Amino acid sequence: MQKFLIHGGKKLNGTINVECAKNAYLPILASTILCEEEIVLKNCPDFTDIKNMIIILENLGITVYKKDDELHINGAEASFCFIPSELAKVLRSSIFALGALLGRFKKAKVAYPGGCDIGLRPIDLHLKGLKDLGVKIVECHGYINCDASEMKGGLVHLDYPSVGATENLIMAGVLNSGTTTIVNCAKEPEIVDLQNFLNNLGAKITGAGTDTIVITGVKKLHGGSWTPISDRIIAGTFLIATAMAGGEVEICNVIPQHFSSLIDKLQKSGCKIEQKDDKIFVVCNSRLESVGFLETMPYPGFPTDLQAQMLALQTVCKGSSLIQENLFETRFKFVPELIKMGANVKVNQRTAYINGVDKLFGADVYSTDLRGGVALVLAGLCAQGYTTVHDIYHIDRGYAFIEKTLSSLGANIQRID
Ligand code: UD1
């Protein structure tokens, strides 16, 4: 098992580029199942989750090859509509393939998805939405068997604005007969990107980014190329890294309005942040004020995927804060690891109470999930002494060789076997 060895205390200085968003790339990859012509996806990032989604596509009979950083995808020969549990369990986003498989083949058998252990993560909203469109679903022995031969347009009212359910239903609607309307849908920028990508291939989707999406079914999609949007969570992670370690960092290829909820909080805590076009410049040379109160919410609220990093920052801020996690029940699993480093945090169900300390100290800590793992890396950057972060395969799911990017900024971090 690989781990990171970090010698804390180095300030971060320099310029970095942010990759395309994992959470945009994954649904876009799944949606390529709908198309029988070649699609080229540019700037493919080196994340394990993306490699695993490619394996799922290949297993369906889709040809995928990588040329430099471009993915060439051809679904002309796709013939299977089955995702076995050994592939589904490594990736929550395997469930996105369901809507696309039903759109293309009108039937599918997929295993329940896996992914980060951050809560129950049910898929009832995905299945209820598909049933509302006329899909017959039988759940049996860990598999979801779907018959969409009678699927047709209709109205789906989501009880909660789930990102995955919204994306799955968009994919189910693209080649569906009639008009599919999704009400109370999620508004995340990655959903807008999925809409724009599919429209670029000939789909007719409107409304992404608002709470109602309307999909007018088309007969088929044509090929095309696309560059998915940049990763707001990675951009936010490096902003927080600079806030914790101190220094001056320019972050390029970002869309600042996609993470304005974070920028606002960091500025109020004392960070100097300037935005220009697709760049953001952060300067932090003193201890920050604590955030006070923060709660995670669906977009445009504060993202749950930045909660762990923001909590790590609060452990070294002046004063105390209260963070409430509203989306996932068990997303504080990394906190006991931070406490090993000297953090003063108490967790009660979905609420964490943090009293800032002057300093964290290096320790042996274990990643519990993707964002919790990266929060420990950030803590290690500002801790006194050496920190070893174990189980970094969690971090590799959504960050491409993060140690290289941090080293380029002057951090002392190495990947070791
Ligand atoms: C996506 C993101 C993930 C992010 C999350 C919330 C991807 C690949 N992943 O995950 O990084 O943390 O949005 O911004 O884009 N829920 C149900 N029933 C369902 C579906 C969801 O109860 O059928 C609940 C979940 O348990 C959770 C909430 O809805 O409490 C939000 O989940 P959802 O928006 O669906 O997140 P994901 O699409 O899994």
Q: What are the chain's domains?
A: 3-18+230-416 (3.65.10.10), 22-218 (3.65.10.10)
Write the pLDDT tens digit of every residue in 138-164.
Answer: 999 989 999 999 999 999 999 999 999
Nearest-CA residue for atom 32 of ligand 1: 162
What's the pLDDT tens digit per position in 185-210? 999 999 999 999 999 999 999 999 99
Question: Is the predicted pLDDT of residue 323 greater than 70, yes or no?
Answer: yes
Atom 37 in ligand 1: which residue has the minimum CA distance? 164
Nearest CA to ligand 1 atom 15: 23
Q: What is the mean pLDDT of the chain?
A: 96
| pLDDT for the residue 116 | 63
The question of whether 116 is a catalytic residue gets the answer yes
Segment 339-343 mean pLDDT: 98
User: What pLDDT does 382 receive?
Assistant: 97
pLDDT at 106 over 80: yes
Residue 272 pLDDT grade (very low, low, confident, very high; cuts 50, 70, 90): very high
Strand 320-324 relative to strand 293-295: parallel, antiparallel, unpaired?
parallel
Give the torsion sign (CA, 107, 112, 115, 117): positive
Q: Which of 162, 191, 324, 394 to mutate to test the pocket of ligand 1 (most atoms within 8 A of CB)?
A: 162
- Does the Cβ of 375 fall within 6 Å of ligand 1? no
**Starting from the edge strand earliest in sequence, which strands make up the sheet with 293-295, in order?**
293-295, 320-324, 351-355, 344-348
Please tell me which residue in 116, 185, 284, 382 is annotated as part of the active site: 116
Q: How confident is the model at residue 92 (pLDDT cuts 50, 70, 90)?
A: confident
In this prediction, residues 256-285 reach a mean pLDDT of 97
Instruction: From 20, 327, 328, give the residue whose CB has the most ligand 1 atoms within 8 Å, as the site to mutate.
Output: 327
Whether 95 lines ligand 1, by a CB cut-off of 6 Å, is no
Give the distance (Å) from ligand 1 centre to CA of residue 209: 16
Q: Are 118 and 331 in contact (CB under 8 A)?
A: yes
pLDDT of residue 79: 87
Q: Give this prediction's pTM.
A: 0.97
pLDDT at 42 over 70: yes
* Model pLDDT, residue 226: 98
- pLDDT of 24 reads 98
Residue having the nearest C-alpha atom to atom 20 of ligand 1: 123
- What would the pLDDT profile of 349-358 be if each residue is shown by its tens digit? 999 999 999 9
**Per-residue confidence (pLDDT) for residue 298, from 0 to 100:** 98
Average pLDDT rounded to a whole number, residues 274-287? 96
Q: What is the pLDDT of residues 357-411, one digit of tens each?
A: 999 999 999 999 999 999 999 999 999 999 999 999 999 999 999 999 999 999 9
Integer CA distances (angstroms), 112 to 49, 96, 350, 401, in order: 16, 11, 25, 29
